Amino acid sequence: MAIDKYNLYINGRWREGEEREYFSSVNPFNQKEWAKITQASSKDVHDAVDAASKAFDSWKNVSGKERAQLLNNLAELIERNLNKLAILESTDNGKVIRETLTQMNFAARNYRFFAGYADKIYGKTIPLDNNDLFNYTKREPLGVVALITSWNSPISILTNKLAPALATGNTVVIKPSEHASATTLELAKLIDEAGFPPGVVNVVTGDYKTGNELTQSAKIQKVSFTGGTETGKIIAKNASTNLVKNTLELGGKSPNIIFEDANLNAALSGAMAGIFGASGQTCIAGSRLLVQESIYDNFLERLIEKASHIKLGNPLEMDTEMGPVATENQFKMIQKIIKESFKPETKVVLGYEHFKDQLQQLEGGYFIPPTILAPVDNESIIAQKEIFGPVLCVIPFKDESDGIRKANETQFGLAAGIWTENIKKAHRVANEIQAGTIWINTYRSTAAQAPFGGFKSSGYGKERGEEALYEYTQVKNIMVNL
């Protein structure tokens, strides 16, 4: 099979990297190299930043109406290429096709949503004490923005950044993850076709060195980053050296809390979707399942039964429920954690043993089966460290205050689920949980309109919704002597 080769997209042109160096993109379902991606050099990165910087001079004056038209063109092209993009992403990172199709649809929706805002970036007129003065504000774009993304949902994560950045008049340099760059480069082809002027969007590919080079550039006005918490700290440090803004979407270890008065059928589905969706490789994974003691045994039994029927398989087949994890690194790291990081009283109540027949058929893929550990002490490493895989820690709790305390006992604060039929309790608990997103009687539901972003070590800044516009604009105040 011919191997696809991807170059860099800089200033509206496709070009080879200066050093003509490539790295492999490996399909995690069969460990086969399927694409070659350019390793950008330092000069390539600087060329991309220069192109974005030059393009900003004219792009910032393009009318909101025109920017909206281009974003809508892009949405339409994504819709026309939905299957192709979804297949490529599933090939690249192993996510099942049902999910990648949903994510491509979401991407198109997100571009349309922010297209709607492009001609509505309003300022204010401000009444003053002195009537001889007239005061107003404008919201202006920042300039060149670096968008750095992770491998787990490349297109949908990028969309959360790119759509508001372009709608508000910024230019960008994108650096996708070295583990899944292909769909971002395919998207760049659609951006080109949509008619965006050269230099408004640029894509450089490569590993952490490329990201590091990009974030240290003095011409960047902001870094919007999605990835691990430790990398986020480096990004924030670099950003502080150049005094540039940053948005950090980092890791999580989210609690999914099941109260005794929950609709247990719905809660079971929510618990499953929370951890086994995307093979657990989502920042919002409900990886700590807190179950009230009075229903603990019964709920755990039903959960094991339901999870034991999950169909592992080829991510490109529509009936596959869980694909492989995305990289060899993840595969090894998760196995190591499952073996080493929990106390003797904790048992693997579902895992390799149950899925061994299915796994035998799938040899050659980076498959980690649905794994349930119970009962887990909330303070143990396995309950505190982000695993980023289909590994669920089941943690019993006594009552409402114990549930809240355990839910908050984590360095992270990205998301939380609350399952109860008692509406007062649901709001009380939502009020107390330290997380940027709270789901009540649902889990992993998202919307273009709903702001998203973490508390505590899960980062800062918001994506999606009106809040995202403020992340990519700065307020200018103008005082006029009448």
Q: Which residue is nearest to ligand NAD (CB)?
A: 211
Residue with tokens 């270890």: 253
Terminal-to-terminal C-alpha distance of the chain:
72
| CB nearer to ligand NAD: pick between 59 and 439 | 439
Is the CB of 172 or the CB of 350 nearer to ligand NAD?
Answer: 172
**Can you read off the two tokens belonging to residue 431?**
């009020």
Q: Which of 12, 228, 451, 465 binds ligand NAD (CB under 6 A)?
A: 228
- Write the CA distances from 441 to 212, 235, 270, 426, integer angstroms: 40, 35, 8, 9
- Two tokens, residue 1: 């099979």
Segment contacting ligand NAD (CB under 6 A): 99-107, 195-203, 222-230, 367-375? Answer: 222-230
- List binders of ligand NAD among 386-425 (CB under 6 A): 386, 388, 414
The answer to whether residues 139 and 168 touch, using CB atoms and an 8 Å cutoff, is yes
Compute the least distance from the CB of residue 337 to ligand NAD, in Å. Answer: 14
Contacts of 269 (CB under 8 A, 6+ apart): none
**Strand 32-38 to 22-27 pairing:** antiparallel
Q: How far is the CB of 151 from ligand NAD (least distance, A)?
A: 5
Based on the shown chain and the rule CB under 6 A, indicate whether residue 215 belongs to the binding site for ligand NAD. yes
- Cα 157 to Cα 469: distance, rounded to the nearest angstrom: 16
Do residues 287 and 254 touch, judged by C-beta distance below 8 A? Answer: yes
Beta bridge partners of 481: 133
Among 67, 95, 112, 175, binds ligand NAD (CB under 6 A): 175
Residue 148 binding ligand NAD, by CB under 6 A: yes
Which region, judged by CB under 6 A, interacts with ligand NAD, from 69-77, 150-158, 161-169, 313-321? Answer: 150-158
Q: 292 vs 410, which CB is nearer to ligand NAD? A: 410
Report cis status (omega within 30 of 0) of the bond before 375: yes
Cα separations in angstroms, 183 against 37, 78, 79, 90, 92: 11, 11, 14, 10, 8
Task: For the CB of residue 90, give the shortest distance to ligand NAD in the complex, in Å.
Answer: 17
Find the binder of ligand NAD among 212, 254, 320, 473 (CB under 6 A): 212
Query: Please, which residue, 270 or 454, has the CB nearer to ligand NAD?
Result: 454
CB of residue 388 to ligand NAD, shortest distance in Å: 5
Site string for ligand NAD, 440-469 (x = CB under 6 A): --------------x---xx----------
Compare residues 403 and 454 and give the one whose CB is closer to ligand NAD: 454
52 vs 295, which CB is nearer to ligand NAD? 52
Sequence-separated (6 or more) residues with CB below 8 Å from residue 50: 219
Residue 329 burial class via C-beta count within 10 angstroms: exposed 0-12, middle 13-18, buried 19 and up: exposed
Give residue for tokens 């050269």: 198
Contacts (CB under 6 A) with ligand NAD, residues 234-293:
234-235, 249-252, 283
Active site residue 301: no
| C-alpha closest to that of 28 among 101, 77, 93 | 93
Cβ distance to ligand NAD smaller for residue 94 or 227: 227
Phi-psi region of 279 (alpha: psi -120 to 50; beta: other; left: phi over 0): left
Written as one string, the DSSP assignment of 439-465 is EES-SS---TTS-B--EETTEES-BST
Compute CA distances 403 → 33, 292, 298, 419, whole Å: 46, 8, 18, 12
Contact 204, 48 (CB under 8 A): yes
Which residue among the candidates 99, 186, 249, 471 is catalytic per the annotation?
A: 249
Residue 101 one-letter amino acid: L
Q: CA–CA separation, 113 vs 132, rounded Å? A: 40
Contact status: 64 vs ligand NAD (CB under 6 A): no
Among 14, 23, 134, 208, binds ligand NAD (CB under 6 A): 208
Closest approach of Cβ 229 to ligand NAD, in Å?
6
Site string for ligand NAD, 311-350 (x = CB under 6 A): ----------------------------------------
Residue number with CB closer to ligand NAD (197 or 228): 228
Closest separation between CB of residue 137 and ligand NAD, Å?
Answer: 30
- Taking CB under 6 A as the binding criterion, the range among 11-19, 56-64, 119-127, 209-217 that sits at the site for ligand NAD is 209-217
E strand residue ranges, 107-165: 125-126, 133-141, 144-148
Which residues form the interface with ligand NAD (CB under 6 A)? 148-152, 157, 175, 177-178, 207-208, 211-212, 215, 226-228, 231, 234-235, 249-252, 283, 386, 388, 414, 454, 458-459
Give catalytic residues, as residue numbers.
Answer: 249
